[in-house]
């Protein structure tokens, strides 16, 4: 098998280096819109697999956002191209009423949820996306315009984990002109999305601005180099903060975090911010927390009567500690069947004994807080703010099963293990 090559085209050897991190997986899901970037990624992966017997199985997935009338036919076209290449293909649909504002952001969130859910349902551990160098620089400038800190300015990562799936971007260092040249050399067709030219969208406006950076001698590769260095600094800060977090905080199996107030106050402000963020992420189930919100807490951290809600959490200060609990609202109600293991509120891994009957899993809540069953167990010693938000089993609105919590209570057929621990 021979391949044409010029100075811009991505060579066989270069692609092998770019994809080397994928060899650890048995199969990979590839997000394919049909645009030039994702089609180039797909063709590169196909060529790599043809030449490497150890390469993972490739499964292509397209999302029909139903935002344009052509989207359904475009997904069918991508499927036909995948069939020609001998690649398994699936189309997932974004259902429901579409947003009228922040369309691209909400479409992106929906797209990733669909892709991640597909991966988890099919036991696929890696989602591979086609973001390239210009995408990275666009993200950097968009976040710079919003006043992001170092965490935001590190922009997109080569690999990040979401809901147990590695999201991998092997082409982040590659210019889009090289992807186009490679695609042309593959003699591969693609789809042009007209929204990529619509200046109502922020990313499109930023893209046009970036195209002119060469006119003032600003090289995208140097911006990418700065992002790499920011990333290195961010990782060092995160590791330092994690060590201090482990030293001055405690995570309770009942789902709350206590931070030694005196120890926190002697930390540098940046470290304080990160420790608070880790604590809030742990308790909330990894909800997004803005830097502005964290900075507002820091400004009030010496208030003796600190008691605020943020990102689904309550932050309360007592004489010794700052304690962070899950807020007692917007907690899920879901059915759990015998033998099932589920993640509840993105905080607890819950499983029900296979000999039990199905029940409704919801928070213990105010209406059950005085139940005699709770008073007879060690669960009654848990702080009320934490007890209210623990999962329990209900039937017909009646509390029937308390949760087994490690080192606190064991006497039930419903087990609940707190999920998010930063501790080593």
- Angstrom distances, CA of residue 191 to CA of 35, 73, 77, 79, 260: 5, 11, 9, 13, 56
Give pLDDT, residue 369: 64
- Flag whether pLDDT at 422 surpasses 70: no
pLDDT in tens, 54-81: 999 999 999 999 998 999 999 999 999 9
Number of residues that make up the chain: 424
Containing H/E element for 269?
Answer: helix 269-284
Q: Is the pLDDT of residue 5 over 50?
A: no
Cβ contact 39:188 at 8 Å = yes
pTM for this model (two decimals): 0.78
Would you place residue 424 in the very low, low, confident or very high pLDDT band (cuts 50, 70, 90)? very low
Determine the pLDDT at residue 41: 98
- Poorest-confidence range of 49-58, 203-212, 270-279, 394-403? 203-212
Mean predicted confidence (pLDDT) in 230-247: 95
What is the dihedral sign for C-alpha 111, 117, 118, 119?
positive
Domain 12-223 and domain 252-326, same fold? Reply is no
Looking at residue 218, what is its pLDDT?
Answer: 83
Average pLDDT, the chain: 91
Alpha carbons within 13 A on the beta-carbon side of 243: 6
Model confidence pLDDT, tens digit, residues 252-272: 999 999 999 999 999 999 999
369 contact partners, CB below 8 Å, separation of at least 6: 384, 387, 388
pLDDT value of residue 376 = 84
For residue 74, CA distances in Å to 48, 235, 263, 309 come to 26, 40, 57, 45
Query: Topology of 252-326 in CATH?
Result: 3.30.465
Burial degree of 302 (CB within 10 A; 0-12, 13-18, 19+)? exposed
pLDDT of residue 195: 77
Structure token digits, residue 311: 């990102």
Predicted confidence at residue 370, as pLDDT, reads: 63
Rounded mean pLDDT, 44-53:
96
Is the confidence at residue 399, as pLDDT, over 60?
yes
Give 161-209 pLDDT, tens digit per residue: 988 899 999 999 999 999 999 999 999 999 988 777 777 778 888 888 8
Give tens-digit pLDDT for 315-357.
999 989 999 999 999 999 999 999 999 989 989 999 999 999 9
Burial of 330: CB neighbours in 10 Å, binned 0-12, 13-18, 19+:
exposed
What is the pLDDT at residue 28?
Answer: 98
pLDDT, residue 49, reads 97
Query: Measured between alpha carbons, how far is 135 from 144 in angstroms, rounded to an integer?
Result: 14
Cα-based angle 321, 324, 325 (whole degrees, multiple of 5): 135
Q: What's residue 196's pLDDT?
A: 76
CA angle 94, 176, 25 (to 5 degrees): 60
Q: What is the pLDDT of residue 4?
A: 47
Closest CA to 134 of 182, 181, 173: 173
Q: How far apart are CA 282 and CA 54, in angstroms?
A: 37
pLDDT for 157 beyond 50: yes
* 53 compared with 375, residue with greater pLDDT: 53
Sorting pLDDT into bands at 50, 70 and 90, what band is 7? low
Question: Residue 211 — very low, low, confident or very high, per pLDDT cuts 50/70/90?
Answer: confident
User: What residue ranges do the domains of the chain occupy?
Assistant: 12-223, 252-326, 334-418
Is residue 421 over pLDDT 70?
no
Percent of the chain with pLDDT over 90: 71
Q: Which residues contact 201 (CB under 8 A, 6 or more apart)?
A: 103, 104, 195
> Residue 267's CB: how many other CB atoms inside 10 A?
16
Q: Per residue in 87-136, pLDDT tens?
A: 999 999 999 888 888 888 899 999 999 999 999 999 999 999 999 999 99
Taking a C-beta distance cutoff of 8 angstroms, is the pair 131, 45 a contact? no
The predicted pLDDT at position 6 comes to 54
Rg (CA), the chain: 25
pLDDT single digits (tens) 284-318? 987 778 899 999 989 988 888 889 999 899 999 99
Alpha helix ranges (H) inside 86-212: 103-121, 133-145, 150-153, 176-185, 202-210
Q: What is the CB neighbour count within 10 angstroms for residue 214?
A: 10
Nearest C-alpha neighbor of 79 from the set 122, 116, 33: 33
pLDDT: is 397 or 81 the higher one? 81
The edge-to-edge listing of strands for the beta sheet with 126-128 is: 88-93, 57-64, 27-31, 126-128, 165-168, 159-162
Q: Is 12-223 a domain of CATH 3.40.50.620?
A: yes
């Amino acid at each position: 098998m021979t391949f044409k090559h010029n100075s811009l085209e991505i060579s066989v050897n270069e692609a092998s280096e770019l994809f080397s991190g994928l060899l650890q997986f048995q199969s990979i899901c590839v997000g394919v819109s049909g645009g030039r970037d994702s089609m180039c990624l797909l063709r590169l992966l196909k060529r790599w697999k043809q030449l490497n017997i150890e390469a993972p199985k490739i499964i292509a997935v397209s999302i029909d956002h139903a935002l344009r009338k052509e989207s359904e036919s475009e997904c069918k076209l991508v499927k036909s191209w995948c069939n020609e290449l001998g690649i398994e293909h699936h189309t997932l649909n974004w259902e429901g009423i579409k947003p009228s504002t922040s369309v691209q952001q909400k479409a992106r969130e929906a797209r990733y949820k669909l892709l991640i859910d597909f991966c988890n349902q099919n036991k696929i551990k890696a989602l591979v996306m086609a973001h390239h160098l210009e995408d990275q620089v666009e993200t950097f400038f968009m976040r710079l315009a919003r006043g992001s800190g170092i965490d935001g300015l590190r922009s997109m990562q080569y690999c990040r984990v979401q809901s147990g799936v590695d999201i991998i971007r092997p082409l982040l260092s590659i210019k889009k002109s090289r992807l186009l040249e490679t695609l042309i050399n593959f003699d591969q067709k693609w789809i042009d999305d007209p929204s990529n030219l619509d200046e109502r969208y922020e990313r499109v406006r930023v893209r046009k601005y970036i195209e002119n950076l060469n006119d003032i001698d600003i090289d995208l590769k140097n911006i990418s180099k700065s992002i790499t260095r920011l990333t290195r600094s961010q990782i060092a800060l995160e590791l330092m903060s994690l060590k201090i977090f482990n030293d001055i905080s405690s995570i309770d199996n009942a789902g709350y975090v206590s931070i030694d107030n005196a120890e926190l106050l002697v930390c540098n402000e940046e470290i304080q911010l990160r420790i608070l963020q880790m604590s809030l992420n742990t308790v909330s189930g990894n909800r997004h927390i803005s830097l502005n919100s964290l900075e507002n807490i820091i400004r009030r951290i010496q208030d003796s009567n600190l008691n605020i809600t943020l990102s689904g959490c309550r932050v309360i200060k007592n004489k010794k500690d700052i304690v962070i609990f899950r807020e007692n609202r917007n907690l899920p109600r879901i059915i759990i069947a015998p033998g099932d293991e589920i993640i509840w509120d993105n905080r607890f891994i819950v499983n029900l004994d296979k000999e039990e009957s199905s029940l409704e899993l919801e928070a213990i809540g105010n209406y059950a807080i005085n139940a005699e069953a709770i008073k007879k167990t060690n669960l009654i010693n848990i702080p009320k703010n934490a007890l209210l938000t623990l999962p329990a089993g209900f039937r017909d609105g009646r509390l029937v099963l308390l949760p087994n919590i490690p080192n606190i209570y064991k006497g039930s057929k419903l087990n609940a293990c707190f999920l998010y621990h930063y501790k080593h």
